Amino acid sequence: MKSSKVRQKYFDFFTKKGHKLTPSSSIIPSDPTTLFTSAGMQPMIPYLLGEAHPQGKRIVNSQKCFRSQDIMEVGDNRHTTFFEMLGNWSFGDYFKKEQLGWVFEFLTKDLGLDPNKLYVTAFEGNGQIPKDRETVEIWQELFKTAGIEAKLNERIFLYGAAKNWWTRADSPESMPEGEPGGPDSEVFYLFDQITHDPKFGKKCHPNCDCGRFLEIANSVFMQYQKKDKGFIELPQKNVDFGGGLERLVAACQNQPDIFKIDLFWPIIEKLKEDLRVEYGDGQNSTASLRVIADHIKAATFLIKDGVTPSNKMQGYVLRRLLRRCAVKIHALPQGRPARSADGSLNDSRAWEANDILPKLVDPIIDIYQETDYFQTGDWDQIRQTIAEELIKFKQTLKRGLRQIKKIDKVTGKNAFDLYQSYGFPFELIEELFLEKGQKVSREEFDKEFKKHQELSHQGSFL
Ligand code: SER
């Protein structure tokens, strides 16, 4: 099933259940305390806290999301920084029984997923919030309707706050005052064609990182708010559901590699053709192609929503994405024929990122043409922003990489020099030295940065 069909089926399903469809908000939130919209619930916070939503108590949508914290995870079969989150919300209306029943119905009936391949989780409780027995009982009833006896630790798994408590902060303890949160229940799809890798632990389970299980749905029972002395119950019990569209499509196709679905594959194909590299199991280039495909898509969405590369805030993250793509392209096997800007084949020098990456905007527009994200846009400006940033970086990229090769033992000083003289974002320097088995100290780097700022400040008075 293609992504546009999954998206539409989700909208239809929840519209029939009385939800109103609302458009995606910008990927750049209006709330200045957060850099990016990283979950569908972010624009819904006022309504989760009690304000009346103009469209009512039941809302459905697909939200464009960006998670910068996941940049380093990209490269495996399932992580991305940009994704679409299908979401439905109850603002003090229905709760656990309806929500979990609908999720099960949508996944098994509308998407046709085999219930035998679905595994679910619930909150095991902590000192302050009790174990979520109700969720366990609801799932047991639901699986029973499909002829499955859902036993604990076989079909239903209990986890602590690290896995089954949802908040925008890292943990219940680090939630700022006023922040809403609550226990959640996730649904995982099992790819039984993959064998468990003991490197990730003795026994495989839904939250194991070996890639057999893929989280496809998350229902948060948003009923608490952090206050100075702990948690209080919100005046209304809410539901905040999120399911990554890319992952749902992968599950529908029983395809463990989300880069092979229609939301990514045309970008990978273009890259394979232009870079003349292979994609697939055992190919060294696979992880790099995934990183480039993800980052260029994320960059396109960020630029479309008004971000330009810079040294600050969202602009810095955009710069980091584009420069990381350039490094990945540069590190691919050299010396093979590639396509130049006019489409003809020529030698390896045509591999320059500033030629290749702007052209990827075209398959991205095609992929999203049925959505309202890309109905209109200044595509030339997007291509040009990408090209200009990469041309700037091209001047120093090769020299910077040569310099990194020469450094035997990295210090804060030479890490700062790479940042200052060659335009390598800190995180990229960190990654490149990690590949050489060396750790860059953020503290030492920051010290050098500060020293430099003080010197330039003094300089400005000379
Ligand atoms: N907020 C939850 C999540 O991001 C559910 O939408 O997973």
Each residue's pLDDT expressed in tens, for the chain with a length of 462 residues: 899 999 999 999 999 999 999 999 999 999 888 999 999 999 999 999 999 999 999 999 999 999 998 999 999 999 999 999 999 999 999 999 999 999 999 999 999 999 999 999 999 998 888 899 999 999 999 999 999 999 999 999 999 999 999 998 878 888 999 899 999 999 999 999 999 999 999 999 999 999 999 999 999 999 999 998 888 988 899 999 999 999 999 999 999 999 999 999 999 999 998 888 889 988 889 999 999 999 999 999 999 999 999 989 999 999 999 999 998 988 886 535 455 556 655 544 456 788 899 999 999 999 998 888 888 888 999 999 999 999 989 888 888 888 888 898 999 998 998 998 888 889 889 988 998 899 999 999 999 988 887 776 554 433
pLDDT attached to residue 347 = 47
Residues 6+ apart with CB under 8 A from 213: 119, 188, 189, 190, 191, 204, 205, 206, 207
- 185: buried, middle or exposed (CB in 10 Å: 19+, 13-18, 0-12)? buried
Helix (H, G, I), strand (E, B) or coil at 65: strand
**Which regions of 98-179 does DSSP assign to beta strands (E)?**
118-123, 156-159, 165-166
For residue 421, give Cα distances in angstroms to 68, 328, 414. 25, 20, 10
Centre of ligand 1 to C-alpha 393, Å, is: 36
pLDDT attached to residue 451 = 87
Cβ–Cβ contacts within 10 Å for residue 64, how many? 23
Centre of ligand 1 to C-alpha 42, Å, is: 9
pLDDT attached to residue 257 = 96
Measured in degrees and rounded to the nearest 5, phi and psi for residue 360 equal -75, -10
**Distance separating alpha carbons of residues 375 and 306, to the nearest angstrom:** 16
pLDDT attached to residue 456 = 64
Residues 6+ apart with CB under 8 A from 174: none
Measured in degrees and rounded to the nearest 5, phi and psi for residue 136 equal -60, -45
Centre of ligand 1 to C-alpha 219, Å, is: 7
Of all protein residues, the one whose alpha carbon is nearest to atom 5 of ligand 1 is: 242
Of all protein residues, the one whose alpha carbon is nearest to atom 4 of ligand 1 is: 39
Centre of ligand 1 to C-alpha 143, Å, is: 23
Of all protein residues, the one whose alpha carbon is nearest to atom 3 of ligand 1 is: 242
How are beta strands 118-123 and 338-339 bridged, if at all? unpaired
pLDDT attached to residue 284 = 82
Centre of ligand 1 to C-alpha 242, Å, is: 5
Task: Tell me, yes or no, if the pTM score tops 0.85.
Answer: yes
- Choose which residue among 61, 62, 179, 184 to substitute to test ligand 1 binding: the one with the highest number of ligand atoms within 8 A of its C-beta: 184
Contact status, residue 326 vs residue 353, Cβ threshold 8 Å: yes
- Residue 39 CA: nearest ligand 1 atom is 4
Centre of ligand 1 to C-alpha 269, Å, is: 31
Residues 6+ apart with CB under 8 A from 374: 304, 364, 365, 368
Of all protein residues, the one whose alpha carbon is nearest to atom 2 of ligand 1 is: 242
Pocket of ligand 1 (CB under 6 A): 39-41, 87, 166, 218, 220, 240-242
pLDDT attached to residue 274 = 86
